[in-house]
Structure 1
């Protein structure tokens, strides 16, 4: 089931979800009162693409990343002091829909102004995007030259109060107003943060990889896998083929997963553009060691561990 159809269906139906899937009442009141640091963060994301030159142009001109290093077949891009994206010219075909694997990867802006700069840069370059307000976050969606979906995001958990599931699925904000889970983003409000339309220069140094959303082959096994990695359940909606998990910080949407493309679908051929692997960087060696004991099949290389999630997405686990 595609994302747009999923949202359309859940808004048009009345369901009753268990508190296992959604925090309610006093749980919700306490959910976003802390500001702790997540036990891990996402390091560089490695993508397979078809044309290095086109990818470099996209990530520098459209996304505003700095070209940090290149080889004959790779390019590292990011902020002034860290790499966010590594492009590998390894694919022979563009991204293929209808398969398990990456749905999108999200680059998170550190504040309102920097998010508005991301959006204005797209407008200045006449680059197509879809503006969406999730209440928990403000987002725009776009595609790279090979059709890989990229999301630019501003985390706004302070606006989020709770999920209501009577007469459809709704998000209640802290003012008591109900919204669609994927409302239309107010671009005028977003862009009001800017003094002018000149947004040249690279992204802010605190810009980061903030979350992933995957098409998965099996929702339950993948959901349990990421909980074993230390993530905590946020939403679990098997009747709508969706779940997501978070960590300790207020923004709970760190890994999302769905089977909207169909259950038990295989991953696309390695000839197609898509995710190569991503890095999960634990804040302490002790936390990493406590987690990795649950995965005896993980392959150790130096101080890193490699393993695949149940869908086949490759992860490199390391500590700072």
Structure 2
């Protein structure tokens, strides 16, 4: 069964793009379970693509990132002062569905006006996309030149209250209204926040990698791995083949795992486009040490520590 049909069957909905913010407890009762401050963030996400030229067209013109540096068939993209995405021309085939690995990486705008600007850029270039409302966030999904899924997100945890499972799975918003997990986004309302239509600049320096969503070969094993590293449980729903963990603060959807592509699936062949590795930056040495003590093996090199999660995803760990 494909992912869309699977989600529709378990949620009783006709169309879904993503499963997010599932927490069956009232928000006022669950906030005490999370750290008030962020204890980890993401560094740059490294992707393998088939063409630096095509990747530059996507990240520069469509997403609005600056081409910051090129070297050895590698290109760095981001804001004026920060690299967010590193593309390596190391793939010989596009992204292949049905394998474990990265489902998507999410680039988070930090203001409603910045989110509107990023969305406007996509529309102005007539680039295919899917604007989606998850209640806890507003998003737009698109794919790069090799079919790798990218999400652009505005965090809105203040709109979320809880998940309601009676009569199917729905999200209760803070105002008491009920919504599907992935509703059509009110694009007109988003565009009201647009300050200007000048697309000559780049994304704000406050733009960040906000979460990463993984296809896990085992949600249970991956969830345990990230919990033991010190991340905080937000949702663990093995009946839906889904889990996510947070890193403190008010938005708890940081590392996300699902097996909607099928359980026990291997990583895609190394020559396919997709994630090369991702970078977790802990705020303290103590947090990093806790993470390292939780894993069976790691390699220290290039100023940090390299580990693999149970699916095989490669992670670079450092601290501030």
Do both proteins adopt the same fold according to a TM-score greater than 0.5, normalized to the shorter chain?
yes
Larger mean Cα displacement after TM superposition, 33-42 or 279-288: 33-42
1:155 corresponds to: 155
Alpha-carbon distance, 1:2 to partner: 4.2
* 2:64 equivalent to 1:64: yes
Specify the alignment match of 1:226 in structure 2.
226
Q: What displacement does 1:222 show?
A: 0.6
For residues 182 and 87 of structure 1, what CA distance do their matches in structure 2 show?
Answer: 29
Aligned to 1:262: 262
Aligned to 2:28: 29
Q: Alignment length, in residue pairs?
A: 311
CA distance in 2, matches of 1:312, 1:76: 24
Question: Equivalent residues in 2 for 1:50-129 (5 A)?
Answer: 50-129=50-129
Correspondence list, 1:1-320, <5 A = 2-12=2-12, 22-25=23-26, 28-31=27-30, 36-301=36-301, 303-320=303-320
Report which stretch shifted further, 72-81 or 134-143.
72-81
Structure 1 unaligned blocks of 5 or more = 14-20
SS in 2 for 1:318: strand
TM-score (norm 2): 0.93
- Distance in structure 2 (CA, Å) of the matches to 1:155 and 1:128: 22
Q: Is the 8 A contact 2:56 2:67 kept in 1?
A: yes
2:120, 2:35 → 1: CA distance?
A: 29
Query: Which sits farther off after the overlay, 185-194 or 2-11?
Result: 2-11
Distance 1:284 1:115 in 2: 30
CA distance in 2, matches of 1:255, 1:2: 23
TM-score (structure 1 length as normaliser): 0.93
Query: How far did residue 10 of structure 1 move?
Result: 3.0
Name the SS of the counterpart of 2:198 in structure 1.
coil
Give the drift of 1:9.
2.0
Give the root-mean-square deviation of aligned CA atoms.
1.6
Instruction: List runs of 5+ in structure 2 lacking aligned partners.
Output: 14-21
